């Protein structure tokens, strides 16, 4: 949003008059992206005649600005939206612990049962294409309430389903509705914290979509060990209902353009001056055009930007492997180590611990980023341009961890080898995955500043497609190739992608010079 004040050519003459000599002109705060209002006392006849319209924005310490909420209130909002994201991510994978009972009750194949997982992930990928533009028009709160209400509603037919087809179809709409928390909630965190405050709350939010999939089998393992599979969905219904109540009472609207529109409406009513306009009121785009743009621009980036395509494929492969593991772990630890359902769920603790350690290394990577920036300025001057490639070192470190972890998992799956060894391999894979995602996400935002939302949408779309496809062939691959070579094949895929973060770190600036999207 460009916080500029729309003034006509007559303003200079107006300000020079004695009647306006005490007017305080607006000042621009670049860091917080806000602009002070012309004081009410300055809205006299002289300036009103000279100004064609006023762009309404936040004043200093404006009580309507979400960033001026108390720190406790802002953190409470972050916790609530992070829990919503955790709930949705957990719902994606907890379904895999119901396979044993569902396949027996509905007399269907493993492939058909797995469609319930794949369709949910595809819903997560397609949902943001519609919900993102809707949030730009109507705000975040209404999207949260409506989408999470539908998320709850679509859980009900899953819980009482009489056939597998019902579960598969409802899981798609369940994922579509829940995708709001994976696409919109990050914006809420940015709405309520200034740039210099953003690191810690954003880390909490971004951790939740990664922790959720590992939490699903942990919880689901105990549920399906001791009770009917339908209780998996009953527990999700209870969790979702509690979350919906928390959102309704404690999460206000935080989207700045919508709040400024309300403020402009109040000013027009209060001053009887129709010239007060919020930036969003000057946007003439239709909803259909916004949705179409959100669909075609990510495709353009994937088709025309080699760096974007390559990094998106890498992150998509990692998510595909992660969701493939939700089925493979059930198979491997059941047949090789003869684990019960609840024990197989605990095997995902390795992934969870690895991801947790990777998240804790974030201060190290931020320190490394500052060092690279400082060295660059010393070598090329203080006005040297910013380099998005400085965001890639976490991905450079994470890529070999992913490959090593997969090979370790592949060749330690023997009954004669203690079960903790392959789980340690999965922990290395989890840590590497988080580091790769961290580097790729931040690089895409900085390398494509004008089209960062589209770059992340392209990444999300490709990840969701791979995340839904990989589980469909995972079990067959493990049965045909064996546990060792099936996992090794996945490791070789990541090995092929391993050099690219480093290559883009070294040569990315040259590639960007030829791009029409990175400027």
CB atoms within 10 A of CB 499: 11
Helices and strands: H and E segment counts in the chain: 21, 4
Residue 42 lies in a domain: no
Whole-angstrom Cα distance, residue 456 to residue 462? 10
pLDDT confidence of residue 393: 94
Query: Under a CB-based contact definition with an 8 Å cutoff, are residues 80 and 145 in contact?
Result: no
pLDDT confidence of residue 39: 42
HEC profile of 319-354: HHHHHHHHHHHHHHHHHCCCCCHHHHHHCCHHHHHH
What Rg, from alpha-carbon coordinates, does the chain have? 26
Q: Same domain for 158 and 263?
A: yes
Q: Same domain for 312 and 168?
A: no
Q: Same domain for 108 and 194?
A: yes
Residue 1 lies in a domain: no
pLDDT confidence of residue 249: 96
Residue 2 lies in a domain: no
Residue 11 lies in a domain: no
Indicate the residue among 255, 271, 287 that finishes a domain: 271
- Smallest CA-to-CA distance from 518 within 460, 453, 444, 457 is with 444
CB atoms within 10 A of CB 479: 12
Query: Under a CB-based contact definition with an 8 Å cutoff, are residues 155 and 233 in contact?
Result: yes
Q: Same domain for 76 and 181?
A: yes
Which residues on adjacent β-strands are paired with residue 276?
54
pLDDT confidence of residue 519: 61
pLDDT confidence of residue 323: 93
Q: Same domain for 77 and 208?
A: yes
DSSP-based helix, strand, coil % in the chain, nearest 5: 75, 0, 20
Whole-angstrom Cα distance, residue 81 to residue 53? 37
* Dihedral pair phi/psi, residue 461, rounded to 5°: -60, -50
Residue 283 lies in a domain: no
Task: Please identify which residue in the block is written with the tokens 């998005």.
Answer: 388
CB atoms within 10 A of CB 334: 15
Whole-angstrom Cα distance, residue 173 to residue 154? 7
Q: Where are the beta strands (DSSP E) in 262-403?
A: 276-277
- Smallest CA-to-CA distance from 422 within 284, 499, 328 is with 328
CATH code of residue 261 = 1.20.1250.20
Residue 502 lies in a domain: yes
Residue 191 lies in a domain: yes
Tokens of 500: 């690219």
pLDDT confidence of residue 188: 87
pLDDT confidence of residue 455: 83
pLDDT confidence of residue 32: 38
- Smallest CA-to-CA distance from 355 within 208, 182, 199, 493 is with 208
Q: Same domain for 307 and 212?
A: no
Whole-angstrom Cα distance, residue 69 to residue 79? 15
Name the helix (H) or strand (E) containing 277.
Answer: strand 276-277
How many structural domains is the chain composed of?
2
pTM for the complete prediction?
Answer: 0.81
Query: Under a CB-based contact definition with an 8 Å cutoff, are residues 501 and 437 in contact?
Result: no
Contacts of 355 (CB under 8 A, 6+ apart): 207, 210, 211, 214, 430, 431, 433, 434
Q: Same domain for 346 and 261?
A: no
* Dihedral pair phi/psi, residue 406, rounded to 5°: -70, -45
- Smallest CA-to-CA distance from 167 within 124, 214, 103 is with 103
Query: Under a CB-based contact definition with an 8 Å cutoff, are residues 232 and 94 in contact?
Result: yes
Range of the structural domain that residue 420 is part of = 297-509
Strand, coil or helix: what is 376? helix
Q: Where are the beta strands (DSSP E) in 136-198?
A: none
**CA end-to-end span of the chain:** 18
Contacts of 400 (CB under 8 A, 6+ apart): 432, 498
Q: pLDDT by residue for the chain (519 residues), tens digit each?
A: 444 333 333 333 333 333 333 333 333 333 333 333 444 433 333 333 334 457 777 777 778 888 889 999 999 999 999 999 999 999 999 999 999 899 999 999 988 999 999 999 999 988 888 787 788 788 889 999 999 999 999 999 999 999 999 999 999 999 999 998 877 887 888 888 887 787 778 778 878 888 899 999 999 999 999 999 999 999 999 999 999 999 999 999 988 888 888 788 777 778 777 767 776 667 677 777 777 877 788 888 899 899 999 999 999 999 999 999 998 998 899 999 999 989 999 999 999 999 999 989 988 998 998 898 888 887 777 777 778 888 899 999 999 999 999 999 999 999 999 999 999 999 999 999 999 998 898 888 788 877 777 788 888 889 999 999 999 998 889 989 999 999 999 999 999 999 999 999 998 888 888 887 776
Query: Under a CB-based contact definition with an 8 Å cutoff, are residues 145 and 198 in contact?
Result: no
Q: Same domain for 264 and 322?
A: no
Q: Same domain for 310 and 257?
A: no
pLDDT confidence of residue 45: 34
Residue 20 lies in a domain: no
How far, in whole angstroms, is CA 6 from its chain's centroid? 34
CATH code of residue 335 = 1.20.1250
């Amino acid at each position: 949003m460009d916080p500029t004040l729309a003034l006509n050519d007559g303003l200079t003459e107006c300000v020079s008059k004695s009647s306006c000599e005490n007017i305080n002109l607006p000042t621009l705060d670049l860091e917080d992206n806000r602009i002070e209002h012309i004081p009410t006392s300055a809205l006299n006849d002289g300036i009103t005649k000279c100004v064609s319209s006023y762009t309404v924005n936040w004043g200093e310490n404006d009580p309507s600005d979400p960033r001026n909420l108390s720190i406790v209130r802002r953190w409470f909002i972050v916790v609530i939206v992070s829990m919503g994201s955790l709930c949705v991510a957990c719902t994606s994978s907890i379904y895999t612990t119901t396979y044993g009972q569902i396949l027996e009750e509905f007399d269907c194949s493993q492939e058909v049962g797995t469609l319930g997982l794949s369709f949910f992930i595809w819903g997560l990928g397609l949902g943001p294409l519609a919900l993102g533009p809707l949030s730009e028009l109507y705000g975040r709160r209404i999207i949260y309430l409506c989408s999470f209400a539908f998320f709850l509603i679509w859980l009900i037919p899953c819980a009482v389903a009489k056939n597998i087809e019902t579960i598969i179809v409802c899981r798609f709409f369940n994922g579509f509705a829940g995708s709001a928390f994976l696409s919109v909630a990050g914006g809420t965190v940015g709405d309520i914290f200034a740039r210099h405050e953003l690191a810690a709350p954003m880390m909490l939010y971004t951790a939740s979509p990664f922790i959720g999939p590992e939490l699903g089998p942990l919880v689901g393992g105990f549920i399906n060990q001791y009770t009917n599979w339908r209780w998996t969905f009953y527990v999700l219904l209870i969790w979702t209902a509690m979350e919906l109540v928390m959102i309704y009472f404690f999460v206000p609207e935080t989207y700045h353009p919508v709040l400024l529109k309300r403020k402009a409406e109040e000013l027009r009513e209060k001053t009887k001056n129709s010239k007060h306009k919020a930036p969003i009121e000057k946007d003439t785009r239709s909803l259909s055009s916004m949705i179409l743009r959100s669909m075609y621009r990510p495709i353009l980036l994937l088709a025309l930007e080699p760096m974007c395509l390559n990094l998106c494929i890498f992150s998509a492969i990692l998510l595909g492997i992660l969701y493939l593991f939700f089925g493979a772990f059930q198979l491997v630890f059941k047949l090789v180590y003869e684990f019960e359902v609840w024990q197989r769920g605990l095997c995902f603790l390795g992934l969870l611990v690895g991801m947790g350690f990777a998240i804790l290394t974030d201060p190290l990577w931020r320190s490394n980023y500052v060092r690279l920036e400082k060295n660059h300025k010393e070598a090329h001057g203080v006005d040297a341009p910013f380099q998005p490639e400085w965001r890639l070192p976490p991905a450079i470190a994470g890529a070999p961890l992913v490959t090593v972890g997969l090979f370790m998992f592949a060749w330690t799956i023997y009954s004669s080898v203690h079960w903790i060894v392959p789980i340690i391999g999965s922990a290395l894979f989890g840590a590497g995955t988080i580091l790769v995602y961290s580097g790729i996400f931040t690089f895409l935002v900085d390398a494509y500043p004008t089209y960062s939302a589209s770059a992340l949408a392209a990444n999300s779309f490709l990840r969701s497609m791979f995340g839904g496809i990989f589980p469909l062939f995972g079990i067959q691959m493990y049965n045909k190739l064996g546990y060792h070579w099936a996992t090794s094949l996945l490791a070789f895929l990541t090995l092929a992608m391993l050099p690219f973060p480093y290559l883009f770190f070294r040569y990315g600036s040259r590639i960007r010079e030829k791009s029409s999207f990175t400027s």
